[in-house]
């Protein structure tokens, strides 16, 4: 298993993610619901992108901006999943989760490109 990845009980992850995610980045860890998720390179890369975003925003402001953007997108899209997928942090992570070298070439605050 990769350093920083913690397998937690699926019910705990469901609670933390409103019964939505298979994994979650909570600096400095990546929480996953099972070993299969821990081995999913695209999923782990997606969460590592979030860890970088969290560092850039000095961690706590990331969570505040994430929540505020989710609320804005929820009003805009009228749907949980659509709102989630349109958060700038998620758009960047989904667009680049297949690129294992993305974090080496990623520019600072690149999530702003996705707003």
- Using CA atoms, how far apart are residues 52 and 114, in angstroms rounded to an integer? 15
> Per residue in 1-25, pLDDT tens?
567 899 999 899 989 888 889 999 9
- Using CA atoms, how far apart are residues 83 and 57, in angstroms rounded to an integer? 21
> Per residue in 28-83, pLDDT tens?
999 999 999 999 999 999 999 999 999 999 999 999 999 999 999 999 999 999 99
């Amino acid at each position: 298993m990769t350093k920083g990845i913690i397998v937690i009980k699926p019910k705990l992850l469901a609670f933390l993610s409103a019964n939505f995610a298979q994994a979650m980045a909570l600096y400095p860890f990546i929480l996953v619901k099972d070993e299969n998720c821990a081995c999913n390179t695209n999923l782990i890369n997606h969460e590592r992108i979030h860890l970088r975003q969290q560092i850039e925003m000095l961690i706590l402001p990331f969570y505040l901006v994430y929540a505020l953007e989710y609320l804005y997108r929820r009003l805009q899209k009228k749907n949980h999943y659509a709102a989630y997928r349109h958060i700038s942090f998620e758009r960047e992570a989904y667009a680049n989760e297949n690129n294992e070298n993305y974090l080496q070439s990623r520019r600072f605050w690149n999530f702003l490109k996705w707003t």
